Chains A and B, each alone.
Chain A
Amino acid sequence: EVQLVESGGGLVQPGGSLRLSCAASGFTFSSYWMHWVRQAPGQGLVWVSRINENGRGAYYADSVKGRFTISRDNAKNTLYLQMNSLRADDTAVYYCARWPLTMGGDYWGQGTLVTVSS
């Protein structure tokens, strides 16, 4: 059974940093693109970032470029999102998703809440 479990969310002050993790199981992690998607409270889904199978190709939404870094450790079957210079508008539930190339996110985690507030 495919499982994605996010962790690392919490309350952080503006300007602070946080690293999210997404532990994957039930599939060959190193064979799939992985994505992060976020959803602010009461708002819609927003694509954040994606990374290719070997970790050498990463892309970002303009809103997070230069502040967020996506990475992966295929030996640990884990996806990461390092978030720096956090702002109030980064407050959201962050989901990781398995995303077979052009197919879309076929499996999603349950999400982890990040709250940026003083």
Chain B
Amino acid sequence: QSALTQPASVSESPGQSITISCTGTSSDVGGYNYVSWYQQHPGKAPKLMIYEVSNRPSGISNRFSGSKSGNTASLTISGLQAEDEADYYCTSYTSSLTWVFGGGTKLTVL
């Protein structure tokens, strides 16, 4: 149950776009379309932003989008805003019938 691989940090200017990658294996990310993404602000609970690779829950801005290619899933945030500054985590279902998270990515909006 190794954690999925995410970049530790990314940064970009307001109004620009950023993509965060999440790399796993054929036993998790590559094997199922059950990848979700969470946003977490300091001291707060995680918030679901994307589920089943590319679906947005009700109330989530369409500036957030998800995709997957092979063993790598991606979260793209367009039109970056100051409030997007947070930690982002991916998670995937696995062939062991468990779930696994990525190590997390700290997004800084410059």
Q: Residue-by-residue, is B76-106 near A (CB-CB < 8 Å gives 1, otherwise 0)?
A: 0000000000010101010011111111100
Q: What residue in chain B is nearest A110 (Cβ atoms)?
A: B45
B104 with A104: CB separation less than 8 A: no
Q: Give the CA-CA distance A97 to B46 in the complex, in Å.
A: 10
Q: What residue in chain B is nearest A100 (Cβ atoms)?
A: B51
Q: What residue in chain A is nearest B100 (Cβ atoms)?
A: A47
Tell whether A2 is near chain B: CB-to-CB under 8 Å. no
A105 with B103: CB separation less than 8 A: no
A60 with B98: CB separation less than 8 A: yes
Q: For A97, what are the chain B residues with a Cβ–Cβ distance below 8 Å? A: 46
Q: What residue in chain A is nearest B97 (Cβ atoms)?
A: A59
Tell whether B65 is near chain A: CB-to-CB under 8 Å. no
A-B contact count (CB 8 A): 66
Least CB distance, B13 to chain A, in whole angstroms: 26
Q: For A109, what are the chain B residues with a Cβ–Cβ distance below 8 Å? A: 45
Q: Give the CA-CA distance A103 to B1 in the complex, in Å.
A: 20
User: With A59-B98, A106-B57 in contact, do A45 and B40 touch (Cβ < 8 Å)?
Assistant: yes
Q: For A37, what are the chain B residues with a Cβ–Cβ distance below 8 Å? A: 46, 101
Q: Give the CA-CA distance A111 to B40 in the complex, in Å.
A: 13
Q: For B104, what are the chain A residues with a Cβ–Cβ distance below 8 Å? A: 44-45
Q: Which residues of chain B have a CB within 8 Å of any CB of chain A?
A: 1, 3, 32, 34, 36, 38, 40, 45-48, 51-52, 57, 87, 89, 91, 93, 96-104
Q: Which residues of chain A have a CB within 8 Å of any CB of chain B?
A: 35, 37, 44-47, 50, 59-63, 95, 97, 102-106, 108-111
